[in-house]
Amino acid sequence: LGLEAVADMDPLTGLNNRRFLYKEFPALQRQTELGQSLSMALLDIDYFKSINDLHGHLAGDAVLRQVASELSRAMADLGHVVRFGGEEFAIVLTSCPLPEAKEVCSALLSHLASISFSIGRKQSIHITASIGATCVWPTDSFESALSRADAALYAAKRAGRDRVSTQGPCMEQLAHRQ
């Protein structure tokens, strides 16, 4: 791998990282200029600090690797997954309007909640996660789309965690109003 590829990769999970998504965002966003839908979501593992505190950082790392693997597998044909930092992952859903993205994210949460994550020494735990999703506009900067997804994520956390919250309105919703 070249230095550029190494700089764009998260060493723990093997996923691309936030830097990669920042660089690729303009290319992804171009599809909105062509009238295609693009949604961005942030997923945060609920109570992740407790996993580290109760079971140790190696267990937390094991959970992160397994979550990354599950997200990659689930999103392989739907979009891109990156490790955003800490226990947070970003998901970009291509050709996916926000209502559909919410359904995909809800199914993803159900899938993650159904898995026993191995944390070593024949121990396993169950996790939940929260997701905030938004649509991406042709005029959005990376920061503005990220800010809406982040606000939606924290709305999901405030509403009790283990849920998807969205922040719009999106082009599809505005088109129906006219």
Q: Which residues are catalytically annotated?
A: 87
Q: Where are the alpha helices (DSSP H) in 8-56?
A: 18-33, 48-55
Kind and range of the H or E element at 166?
A: strand 164-167
Are 145 and 167 contacting, i.e. CB atoms less than 8 angstroms apart?
Answer: no
Strand locations in 9-158, DSSP E? 16-17, 38-45, 79-85, 88-94, 117-120, 123-125, 129-135
Instruction: Return the ∠ at Cα 41 (arms to 38 and 46), rounded to 5°.
Output: 170
CA distances to 18, 26, 59, 125 from 121, rounded to whole Å, are: 32, 44, 10, 12
The DSSP bridge pattern shows strands 79-85 and 16-17 to be parallel
